[in-house]
Chain A
């Protein structure tokens, strides 16, 4: 990421040309504009979520919160279905990610070693990236297996991403020296011992990358639940958000909204307040993911380049 320091120093010694200074000025202006475009919508969501409903509708909320209030967040805390879905999402994400990571690491380790039939196994995985049965055959099969409307399905479906598998394989075969394996074999270790005692402890980076990739994908996924889950109590957060925010014009969604303020207030007032609640929903669903990303940032970039440049 930072190839510059040496040549930047040289340049400062030599001095910049007039053209370079103009270039730098324009470049800086460009990036300031990009930052505004990227960050302003996020800021807007944040301030709208803590502003008053009337101010929001009047268009007064555009730079700072107006009529600061937390009613939106209070409403979320009082909405049992939303809380339930939040819990569901946490369960699906944690369990699904844990399973995905261990299964991917195991297979990734195997594929990093030589064994009879390795080509065939690789082809077996890669083929699924190129060709799938399609939504309906998948649906029928999962239904026949008794997985429709089950928590199990939400955890084990899409458990192995072939892309992530290749990242894991490449990481293990390039970052863990083969001498370790030879030494382990001399000491009488089998693949199990070597994998669990040596490879896993040395794979912190790639495990972090996989956790985030799998975890974010699970947390953000609404489509699987839309297709396979019928009971409201099993819905993940994103399905509820879809109903609340995206489909809010339809009758059912309005009913759900009224659930927030079912205390005899007028519909228009409820709808206005619900608008604030929607912003709050975005905040509570997105903040955990963004915080996780900011924490793990350095691993991320590494993971992307491992998979794509060397894989």
Chain B
């Protein structure tokens, strides 16, 4: 007995001394970390404590911990409501259709950009296609509203000149996803080429030279050199994107939602904002938000695991 205890205590003392020495040597590192840790704590970790209102009937007068527990009542309410399937489906479909467009377009653009030989034109093009990325969502939707306005929008004026009828695009549910995804493409497709272009730039120029000498055409070079080199990053990004299939782009959807297009544009994020901050149903909305966050968490962790596995075995 005795020797065991003393051995343990020696190890403990050793560990304590090591920690003490590390702390003396590195305390400045911890101080440098402190502001970031503190800010993240306030804005990310404190709210986790507030999640409990999802299982309570929150009343401001009683505070968070003083409000009554109601268990899963809010979930029962949500799934009994007619909005539940519509909200979940709208959120999912907006992301799925978005990915179907937003994913391939930058890949194709990167390949074609890489084949441009006029260097100044190429640089100008790159600068131009990155620019819309920096426009705010308010301005983006503002431009949509202005261009598509039934009274003065250029699009409607052209439609009328061509013999068509003016349409209030922002009010029509069948146009919501097209406009949402289309404007996303306009803004970000160019910017999203950056990673692919980086992958193409890393290719050994000797490969192209050899291919040229062997008489390969440009399309053959794309097919047998470019695409194989891009596959790892394509797969990785595709998998990671799949982790965001239930994420709401509330920022933009909230700007584009109108009384007319709600049957398609009402997604989890806009519903949470409307019912929570405008109608004050804090607990109900917190419960829905929590559910979606848990789904998102599970999805992201899963796709990260998959990506890690692929990275180890087949990627680099």
Which A residues have a C-beta under 8 Å from some C-beta of B? 1-8, 10-11, 14, 17, 19-20, 23-24, 27-28, 30-31, 34-35, 37-39, 41-42, 44-45, 48, 56-57, 59, 61-62, 103-104, 106-107, 109-111, 113, 115-116, 121, 124-125, 128, 130-142, 145, 156-160, 162, 165, 190-192, 195, 216, 219-223, 226-227, 238, 241-242, 245-246, 248, 272, 275, 278-279, 281-282, 285-286, 289-290, 293-294, 297, 300-301, 304-305, 308-309
Q: Is B277 interfacial (CB 8 A cutoff)?
A: yes
A5 to B126, alpha carbons, bound, how many Å?
A: 17
Docked-complex contact B32 and A133, CB < 8 angstroms: no
Residues of B within 8 A of A142 (CB): 43
Docked-complex contact A121 and B117, CB < 8 angstroms: no
A134 to B135, alpha carbons, bound, how many Å?
A: 26
Residues of B within 8 A of A113 (CB): 26, 29
Residue in chain B with minimal CB distance to A281: B142
Docked-complex contact A160 and B36, CB < 8 angstroms: yes
A122 to B289, alpha carbons, bound, how many Å?
A: 26
Q: Out of B127, B205, B285, B293, which one reaches A131, CB within 8 Å?
A: B293
Closest 6 CB pairs of A and B: A133-B47, A137-B50, A220-B136, A59-B157, A134-B289, A107-B36
A221 to B139, alpha carbons, bound, how many Å?
A: 11
Docked-complex contact A44 and B147, CB < 8 angstroms: yes
Most buried by A among B29, B198, B219, B297: B29
Docked-complex contact A128 and B44, CB < 8 angstroms: yes
Docked-complex contact B146 and A242, CB < 8 angstroms: no
A275 to B158, alpha carbons, bound, how many Å?
A: 18
Docked-complex contact B125 and A35, CB < 8 angstroms: yes
Residues 123-153 of B, flagged 1 when their CB comes within 8 A of A and 0 if not, give 0011111111011111101110111000110
Q: Out of B32, B152, B186, B209, which one reaches A107, CB within 8 Å?
A: B32
Q: Is B42 interfacial (CB 8 A cutoff)?
A: yes
Docked-complex contact A157 and B112, CB < 8 angstroms: no
**Which residues in chain B, 233-288, are within 8 Å of chain A measured between CB atoms?**
250-251, 254-255, 272-273, 276-277, 282, 285-286
Docked-complex contact A7 and B205, CB < 8 angstroms: yes
Residues of A within 8 A of B251 (CB): 222-223
Residues of B within 8 A of A10 (CB): 208-209, 212-213
Q: Out of B36, B127, B141, B195, which one reaches A246, CB within 8 Å?
A: B141
Docked-complex contact B146 and A278, CB < 8 angstroms: yes
A20 to B217, alpha carbons, bound, how many Å?
A: 6
Docked-complex contact A160 and B194, CB < 8 angstroms: no
Residues 194-229 of B, flagged 1 when their CB comes within 8 A of A and 0 if not, give 110110111101001100110101110000000000
Residue in chain B with minimal CB distance to A158: B43
Q: Out of B40, B125, B157, B282, which one reaches A128, CB within 8 Å?
A: B40
Q: Out of A31, A220, A248, which one reaches B125, CB within 8 Å?
A: A31
A289 to B137, alpha carbons, bound, how many Å?
A: 13
Docked-complex contact A130 and B301, CB < 8 angstroms: yes
List 12 contacting pairs A-B, 8 Å CB cutoff, sorted by A. Answer: A3-B202, A6-B205, A19-B217, A31-B116, A39-B128, A44-B147, A111-B33, A133-B49, A140-B282, A141-B47, A246-B141, A286-B135
- B137: min CB distance to chain A, Å: 7
Residues of B within 8 A of A219 (CB): 136
Residues of B within 8 A of A275 (CB): 146, 152
Residues of B within 8 A of A160 (CB): 36, 39-40
Docked-complex contact B125 and A106, CB < 8 angstroms: no
Docked-complex contact B277 and A227, CB < 8 angstroms: yes
Residues of B within 8 A of A42 (CB): 131-132
- A103: min CB distance to chain B, Å: 5
Docked-complex contact A134 and B139, CB < 8 angstroms: no
A104 to B36, alpha carbons, bound, how many Å?
A: 7
Residues of A within 8 A of B218 (CB): 19-20, 23-24
Docked-complex contact B250 and A223, CB < 8 angstroms: yes
- B196: min CB distance to chain A, Å: 11
